[in-house]
Amino acid sequence: MCGIVGWIGESCAPGSAEVTQRMLAAMAHRGPDGEGAWRDANAGVWIGHRRLSVLDLSQAGHQPMHSPSGRYVLSYNGEIYNHPTLRMDLAARGVAFKGTGDSETLLALIDRVGIEAALPQLNGMFAFALWDCAEQTLWLARDRLGVKPLVYATAPGQIAFASDLNGLRPLSWLNRDLDAGAVADYFRYLCAPAPSSVILGARKLAPGGLLRWRAGEISVGQWWRIDDAIATAQAEQPSDDLGTAVEELQALLSDAVHGQLISDVPLGAFLSGGIDSALVTAAMRERTMPRTFTVGFPGSAGDEADAAAATARHLGVDHRGIVLSPDDAMALVGTVSSIYDEPFADASALPTALLCRAARDHVTVALAGDGGDELFGGYPRYFHGARIERMRARLGQGGSRALAGVMTAMPASLAQVLGGLLPGGGGSEGGAVRLRRLATYFAADRADTYRDAVAAWPAPPLLDRDWRTAETGAVDIDRYAALPWAEAMMAVDQGSYLPDDILTKTDRASMAVGLEVRVPLLDHRLLEFSWRLAPQLKWGDSAIAGKRVLRALLARSLPKEFIDRPKMGFGAPLADWLRGPLRGWAADILAPDALRRDGVLDPGAVEKAWAQFCATGTGFQRVWTAIQWLQWRETWRERR
């Protein structure tokens, strides 16, 4: 796993060496084991690489790397898990290799068949830049599901790229103005969804994206589309037999995990008390003795440390639990925003950062269970969406709106009682909120309902009025109008929430400490398999027990009591800490002078939200989003 960076254009002359060196230095955290750079002064091309050595630790794995023919130059970040098979085929066709790494395999394959024919043959996570010396063309490519990041910036006659936004900061021609739509989307969704970035001058290459740049002309397309994968899978007869589905799942997962065990450095796994990481660990245990890691928060309702330890004991793996205390949070919380190249307000970023730091003391590679919820129906909104859609069909539009009106007009005391009975209601107060949201589901269309379900708030109230209504349109459920509502939500989550939030969080937290995290549940064959399953094999008949087929497979390795636990989020008790030991720290960040200087936030709205949170404990997400925004802006100014 590595950091890549580059700059092509007329102004990328030898005199720009100071700028390019700063670009390369900005990627040092992603590749602590070495660096390399290649320049073609005549063509105005500079390509850099920071290396985290995982496969082929010798100099044969050094990058940027030249293809056997000398035509291509590669700067590559990722792992291609089927590269041994590809290498054997290439060797049979006469290719001679100097080392044992997947970068060399990738280059040899491209040399033989070209980049567009090579990409569909790859099974892995990757983002890479390829310079074609013969055609004077730059190619940028990203893996199917966006596990590895890639951003780029353009100007007349120029293009630059990097693994994250930090690598583009040194460029004098980068447009640093804020993108109003991306800013508003950050306050809606806690991150800035692709393809926009929070600054106007940079864009993210979408998952499955392929960019071509030549002589200042750029084209951006897709070498793989999730829509095509869904359509192909659903054209087949859906599988509704649980036993058959479990057998196929076991074969696919076992093969995916086996492929991802390839490593020349120590390897472990993240293990929570949940289904997904337990499945990955169980599959690893078939072939090796992994070290597993979890993070816990003593006294918190979200503490899964004991459950993870019990799972580890039953699976017979070497387990280490890390405890996150308020003192640990104090030491870490101020640095979390510096890990991210854009503002990022998913509160689980804090425990994820601690988990990665602790694991890195023992291993260089860790497997994680990311993707199980999005692929196999783990979020309650899928189950509720399916039920509500059926009820709306029975009631008709008029009946649905009438029911929504009854729920909305219900006295607060009754709403508290009934809402508290809903799954995940969180008691009377939380249940009342959930009942009001349920009312909007019956009253609104699918797109508005989905955005309401996934957004912290649809119209961010903390923003100044000029910023509040901007939108990028990145979260688009209307494109899946032909799918049932629950499956349409899953499709959007897989294309947006998964890469923009979940995978971004894991990538930045792990690469900040030089740890490579692999996600076998996001093997593209498992995604295709998930779309061939009938809905009842995903969320079944209970919002609490989603991922039915995953649970059935895990039952082969763990007793029932390990499997039938309700879903828990991965988060620290930040709300309690912000009203306790972190209160002074937060108050300093949200000081009136800082709010007035910002120019994006509405100072009055933020001050009101902070006062309400301190007094009642409600509105944590609004406060945290504002804190992370202000911290990111300060970090951005310092790095400039």
So which residues are the catalytic ones?
2
Contact 175, 199 (CB under 8 A): yes
| Residue 569, burial from CB neighbour count under 10 angstroms (0-12, 13-18, 19+) | exposed
**Spatial separation of the C-alpha atoms in residues 296 and 637, rounded to whole Å:** 34
- Rounded CA gap, 605 and 544, in Å? 36
* The 158-162 sheet, strands edge to edge: 34-40, 45-51, 2-9, 158-162, 151-155, 202-204
Q: Are 364 and 265 in contact (CB under 8 A)?
A: yes
Q: CA 571 to CA 121: how far, in whole Å? A: 37
**Terminal-residue alpha carbon distance, the chain:** 26
Q: Could you give the residue ranges of the DSSP H alpha helices within 512-602?
A: 524-530, 548-554, 560-563, 574-578, 583-589, 592-598
Which residue is listed with tokens 């990955």? Answer: 280
Q: Measure the CA–CA gap between 234 and 244, rounded to whole angstroms.
A: 17
Cross-strand bridge partners of residue 50: 3, 35
Cβ-based neighbours of 256, under 8 Å, separated by 6 or more: 81, 520, 521, 523, 525, 526
Handedness of CA 469, 472, 474, 480 (dihedral sign): positive
User: What is the Cβ-side half-sphere exposure of residue 508, based on CA atoms within 13 angstroms?
Assistant: 26
Beta-bridged to residue 239, according to DSSP, are 533
- E strand spans, 311-452: 318-323, 365-367
Reduced to 3 states (helix: H, G, I; strand: E, B; else coil), residue 473 is coil
CA 576 – CA 592 distance, rounded (Å): 23
Q: For residue 326, how many other CB atoms are within 10 A of its CB?
A: 16
**Strand 291-296 and strand 124-132: pairing?**
unpaired
Q: Using CA atoms, how far apart are residues 588 and 535, in angstroms rounded to an integer?
A: 49
DSSP state of 63: S
Structure-token pair, residue 606: 């933020």
Planar angle of CA 534, 539, 545, nearest 5 degrees: 150
Q: In what order do the strands lie in the sheet with 137-142?
A: 65-66, 72-80, 124-132, 137-142, 209-214, 217-222
Token match 């001679």: residue?
Answer: 96
Alpha-carbon distance values, 242 to 238, 308, 345, 553 (Å): 12, 27, 38, 10
Q: What type of residue is 40?
A: D
Q: What distance in Å separates the CA atoms of residue 368 and residue 30, rounded to the nearest whole number?
A: 18
For 107-263, list the strands marked E by DSSP: 124-132, 137-142, 151-155, 158-162, 202-204, 209-214, 217-222
